[in-house]
Amino acid sequence: MTPAPAEPRTVATPLAAIRALRPRQWTKNGVLLVPLLFAKNITVAGQLLRSAIAVAAFCLLASGVYVMNDWFDREKDRLHPEKKFRPIAAGQLGLPSVLVLIALCWGGTLVLSLALGGAFVGVALSYVVLQLLYTTLLKHVVLLDVMALALGFIVRVVAGAVAIDVQVSNWLFLCTLLGAVFLGFAKRRAELSSLEDGAAAHRASLGEYTQTMLDQMMSISAACTILAYGLYTVSPETIARVGSDHLKLTVPCVIFGVFRYLFLVHKRGLGGSPEKVLLSDLPLIADIAVFLGIVAWGLYF
């Protein structure tokens, strides 16, 4: 068994603090804008501002969670080929700095959440509880670790809906859940591939997976995601609400996006950081831009 590296000497810097907040992962909180977009509320007075506040609140909330996770996982992260460079694992931030960052992030979250109402505060607290369970328990249990990641996206969607006082449709719930499960299994496959024989030492649940198993689960969840979204666009309920069947034109974008992501996972070894893929792969960025353009045209014009 490989011994854990010695605790490095702490050298706190402002840049290290910013990196510990993982601003690149704030892109995940764009999910909070989905209810605003598909509820056709962008042009409703005040709704865009409330959604923006909700996104900012969850960016701070998630950053506090990332700092907390990194502190608890610092010893195992030092054995990881990429995570060992994170500020806490690298010894650039000690416990006092960690506590200050968490207090600032969650304090800011509370202020912004109160501006959106008690219901939003409740959703934000549920996200913290979920992440605490994930950090201490769920991420060590095979399959439940991926389901917990997926539930995190569901909570984000619910938060976006609560912020503008609309309901989360059954279709939005289903598509978000299936898409998040797909991303979760892709993340586990990338981790298993990069760590190889050291996967179980880094996290016990990784030792329970195999690449073949994860490939099958990715294929199933990818197919279900495409099917669920396609059925949503042509359902009578959607056509009646939108006023046309134009959303079906976005289905090719979803198919390409899912298949492109599978290509990047299998051929480029990506997938461990979905936000990195979304911010760096030009074909995927173009696909998302076309998708959003068609959605805007179909819903608002």
For residues 227 and 10, the model is more confident at 227
On whether the CB atoms of residues 82 and 137 are closer than 8 A, the answer is no
Among 47-61, 81-95, 228-242, the minimum mean pLDDT is found in: 81-95
pLDDT tens, position by position, 92-150: 999 999 999 999 999 999 999 999 999 999 999 999 999 999 988 998 899 999 999 99
Q: What is the mean pLDDT of the chain?
A: 89
Segment 22-50 mean pLDDT = 91
For residues 103 and 241, the model is more confident at 103
Segment 262-279 mean pLDDT = 84
Neighbour tally for 135: CB within 10 Å:
17
pLDDT at 196: 66
Residues 285, 193, 184, 275: is their CA dihedral positive or negative?
A: negative
Segment 185-211 mean pLDDT = 78
pLDDT at 275: 83
d(CA 287, CA 250): 10
- Please check the confidence at residue 9 and state whether its pLDDT lies above 70: no
> Model pTM?
0.88
Question: Which three-class secondary structure state does DSSP give residue 167?
Answer: coil
Residue 1 pLDDT grade (very low, low, confident, very high; cuts 50, 70, 90): very low
221-254 CB burial, b ≥16 within 10 A, e <16: bbebbbebbbebbeeeebeeebeeebbbebbebb
